[in-house]
Amino acid sequence: MREFGSLEVKVYDGDLDKAMKVLKKKLQDDGLVRRLKAKRSYEKPSERRRRKRRESERRRRMNRLKES
């Protein structure tokens, strides 16, 4: 997760469609899209805890799969 960085996408041969696709992928990988969606509306503290727990479990599961 990047707090104060910049994303850079190079456009080759004027291919803006491909550059936009790459930019969207980088934004998704960075988690920016998810954070922006979460900020659209108020999240109750209980929902926030539940979401954090699910995210933690998902990260743990992914780490186990990588180690296997």
Walking along the chain (68 residues) 10 residues at a time, the average pLDDT comes out as 71 93 90 84 92 93 87
Q: What is the pLDDT of residue 21?
A: 95
Within 13 Å and on the Cβ side, how many CA atoms surround 48?
8
The answer to whether the beta carbons of residues 30 and 1 sit under 8 Å apart is yes
Taking alpha carbons only, the member of 28, 39, 20, 24 closest to residue 2 is 28
CA–CA separation, 12 vs 39, rounded Å? 34
Give the model's pLDDT for residue 18: 94
Q: How many angstroms separate the CA atoms of 10 and 15, rounded? A: 10
Q: Name the residue with tokens 């988690």.
A: 31
pTM for the full model?
0.52
Q: Tell me, what's the pLDDT at 3?
A: 58
